[in-house]
Amino acid sequence: MRTFTKIRISLPVIALLAVWASEFVVAQAKPNTGSAIILGLEAKWNAAYDRGDIATMNTLLADDFIITVEDGSTFSKSGYIAHYGDSTVHVEISDMSDLKVRMHGKTAVVTGAYHEKGTSKGKPYEFRDRFTDVWMNMNGPWQVIASHYSIPASP
């Protein structure tokens, strides 16, 4: 009789655990739509930068956008667009990797690695950076409000 009671009690517990586990797996499989949107915007910004597409960059960057680049210089939106829309800069490689998005309501923080190689005023350059971008939902469209690039310390 005791074995039968244990089985009757165990079956509901096992069923409950199975339901919980399946819900966890489904939740893990669903893409985070907020993160997917932000990753798409990162790719769009990177492609616009590669092409020197000022119109697209203008829509993605908030009016009060600020960026800190590798040498510690900062640029506003207009300064960034003027500097990186320069026709003497030719980007050959512009790759992002190790991207992680953290959503906080109407704000998203993206971290990752960045590799860029090209020429500026005829001289070759190459950067391997870490970056942080902060995006904010501006009552509909997402725009990047701040960006920071730094060169990792050598091991």
- In this predicted structure, what is the pLDDT of residue 141? 94
Strand partners, 97: 113
What is the rounded distance in angstroms from the CA atom of residue 133 to the CA atom of residue 25? 30
Q: Identify the CATH assignment for 33-150 out of 3.50.50.60, 3.10.450.50, 3.55.40.20, 3.30.560.10.
A: 3.10.450.50
- In this predicted structure, what is the pLDDT of residue 84? 72
- In this predicted structure, what is the pLDDT of residue 22? 44
Is residue 18 pLDDT above 50, yes or no? no
pTM of the model: 0.76
For the ranges 19-23, 84-88, 91-95, 113-117, the one whose mean pLDDT is highest: 113-117
CA angle 33, 108, 76 (to 5 degrees): 130
Higher pLDDT, 90 or 22: 90
- The domain spans of the chain are 1-30, 33-150
Task: Characterize 20-54 residue by residue with b for buried, 16 or more Cβ atoms within 10 angstroms of its Cβ, and e for exposed.
Answer: eeeeeeeeeeeeeebbebbbebbeebbebbeebbe
